[in-house]
Amino acid sequence: MTSTHRLPDLFGSAEFARAYTIAVLTAVFASFTIERAASAVTLGTVIVALCALGAAILWVRREELSLLRIAPSSLLAFLAWAAISLAWSTDKSDTILGWLELVGFAFLAITVGHIRDTLQTVRALGDTLRLLLVVSLGLEILSGVLLDTPFSFLGIQGLLADGGPVQGIFGSRNMLGFVTVIALITFVIEWRSQSLTPRIAVPSIGLAAMLAFFSSSPTVLVLAAAVGVVTFALTIVRHAPTARRTLVQWVLGVLVALALAAAFALRHVIIALLDAGSDFSIRATLWNTILDFAALKPVEGWGWFGSWARGEFPFTYINFLLDDRHQSALNAYFDVLLQLGTAGLVLFLLFGGIATVRSWLVASIRRSVVYAWTPLMLVTLAVESMFESFTLVGAGWFMLVLCALRAGQSRSWRENIDAAHTGAIPTLRSER
């Protein structure tokens, strides 16, 4: 067999798909370390190379794919609006770079979503996060216990012996906390789906829980509470009789609305209990300032930039007014409002909201516990977005696109169009 024939066979193989998925997940979740250890150019080169490989894989597998279902329409609308914002951006080159970063990570998520099913994705993510968390713990032990010296190039302060906070290889304690919650959900789903033996699952869960504790991130408690409540609610729905499931869904929906209203009314008490008063005060001041600038361009925003690290107006002026060095709005929704206006915020909410509803409906009637991974992950991303802008860049954005694609693959209007060509009628029946 010639090398010309071997290459398509390699790109289309299951082994290569798994290796590619592991490589993508490692690059995405270790992007901060890659950038700090090498450079932003190196990270960009890695992402571009993985995108090129992904395009080759999708081309080889083109007969397995449907053009209509290649990506959620709400994602395409959001990306299109971000691209259109180039017309009124204050710095067109930075907007182009920010948009390309957005598209690059989204394309990697789309590729992984099409070449791996949900269980395969969960297993690959579990393997990747186990490795990265072990590396994080190892570096924290080396820095804070054995050498007692900070690793400045990674931002590791060497505070493990003092009880934290630690950040591992993820850039900040809040990012480490976010990753540990993702890892905990993934490890538990792996265990419950019998993809892992207790001999591996229990230490994995212990590792993630320990790093979550040492991160001292106030958002971890909020995320853990949100995931716990959603898990309990989803369990009730999954075990409800089919005839009563719709009623149960509506009752839970009303309870969620009441809970959100109560949380808003008691927000000061909750903040005090979390001992996050000063941290939240900083956020509140920042958000009020952002609202002032968003009001100047309420519909279209100031143009898409992504991270504030590029130092363009109005971000530099906001930091000047606050005498701070924020690199985001510390809230994904406020960040989208500032950069893409109310139009962009509506598209972003539709993108995440539609995906969450779809994944919830699928998980509520499918027997396998692995289907619970997607809605739990989307809830985690939604709640985290209230405290950080992680879901707009890097690993957070990648996970949002991946979960939205996964939700759309099981429940989408495109299935009806595909069915018209195949003569099949797509239905999503309960597996009970």
Is the distance from CB of 307 to CB of 351 less than 8 angstroms?
no
Asked if residue 165 has a cis previous peptide bond (ω within 30° of 0), the answer is yes
How far is CA 383 from each of CA 210, 221, 311, rounded to the nearest angstrom? 21, 11, 27
Reported confidence tier of residue 416, pLDDT bands at 50, 70, 90: very low
Q: Using CA atoms, how far apart are residues 189 and 220, in angstroms rounded to an integer?
A: 19
Q: Which residue has the higher pLDDT, 245 or 189?
A: 189
Lowest mean pLDDT among 36-50, 88-102, 297-311: 297-311
Token pair, residue 18, equals: 């798994």
pLDDT tens-digit profile of 198-250? Answer: 899 999 999 999 999 998 888 888 888 888 888 888 888 877 777 777 777 77
Q: Using CA atoms, how far apart are residues 331 and 382, in angstroms rounded to an integer?
A: 10
How far is CA 62 from each of CA 54, 59, 310, 419, rounded to the nearest angstrom? 12, 5, 38, 18
Reported confidence tier of residue 181, pLDDT bands at 50, 70, 90: very high
What is the torsional sign of CA 324, 326, 331, 336?
A: positive
Of 6, 109, 99, 107, the closest CA to residue 52 belongs to 107
Is the distance from CB of 139 to CB of 130 less than 8 angstroms?
no
Token pair, residue 89, equals: 């951006």
Give the position of tokens 């990265």: 132
Q: What is the pLDDT of the chain when averaged over all its residues?
A: 84
Confidence (pTM)? 0.88
Number of C-beta neighbours around residue 410 at 10 A: 18
For the chain, the three-class secondary structure string (H helix, E strand, C coil) is: CCHHHHHHHHHCCHHHHHHHHHHHHHHHHCHHHHHHHCCHHHHHHHHHHHHHHHHHHHHHCHHHCCHHHCCCHHHHHHHHHHHHHHHCCCCHHHHHHHHHHHHHHHHHHHHHHHHCCHHHHHHHHHHHHHHHHHHHHHHHHHHHHHCCCCEHHHCECCCHHHCCCCCCCCCCHHHHHHHHHHHHHHHHHHHHCCCCCHHHHHHHHHHHHHHHHHHCCHHHHHHHHHHHHHHHHHHHHHHCCHHHHHHHHHHHHHHHHHHHHHHHHCHHHHHHHCCCHHHHHHHHHHHHHHHHHHCCCCCCCCCCCCCHHHCCCCHHHHHHHHCCCCCCCCCHHHHHHHHHHHHHHHHHHHHHHHHHHHHHHHHHHCCCHHHHHHHHHHHHHHHHCCCCCHHHCHHHHHHHHHHHHHHHHHCCCHHHHHHHHHCCCCCCCCCC
Evaluate if residue 151 carries a pLDDT over 60: yes
- pLDDT at residue 285, as a whole number: 83
Is the distance from CB of 173 to CB of 167 less than 8 angstroms?
yes
Q: How many CA atoms lie within 13 A of 371 on its CB side?
A: 22
Is the distance from CB of 357 to CB of 409 less than 8 angstroms?
no
Provide the residue ranges of all domains of the chain, joining segments of one domain with +. 116-216, 218-432
Reported confidence tier of residue 362, pLDDT bands at 50, 70, 90: confident
Q: How many CA atoms lie within 13 A of 384 on its CB side?
A: 30
- pLDDT at residue 386, as a whole number: 87
Asked if residue 8 has a cis previous peptide bond (ω within 30° of 0), the answer is no
Q: Which residue has the higher pLDDT, 56 or 431?
A: 56
- pLDDT at residue 103, as a whole number: 95
- pLDDT at residue 273, as a whole number: 60
- pLDDT at residue 157, as a whole number: 86
Token pair, residue 3, equals: 């090398």
β-strand partners of 164: none
Of 151, 30, 50, the closest CA to residue 109 belongs to 50
- pLDDT at residue 270, as a whole number: 61
Evaluate if residue 1 carries a pLDDT over 60: no
The arithmetic mean of pLDDT across residues 56-85, rounded, is 87
Of 113, 193, 129, 54, the closest CA to residue 400 belongs to 113
The arithmetic mean of pLDDT across residues 349-361, rounded, is 90
Reported confidence tier of residue 313, pLDDT bands at 50, 70, 90: confident
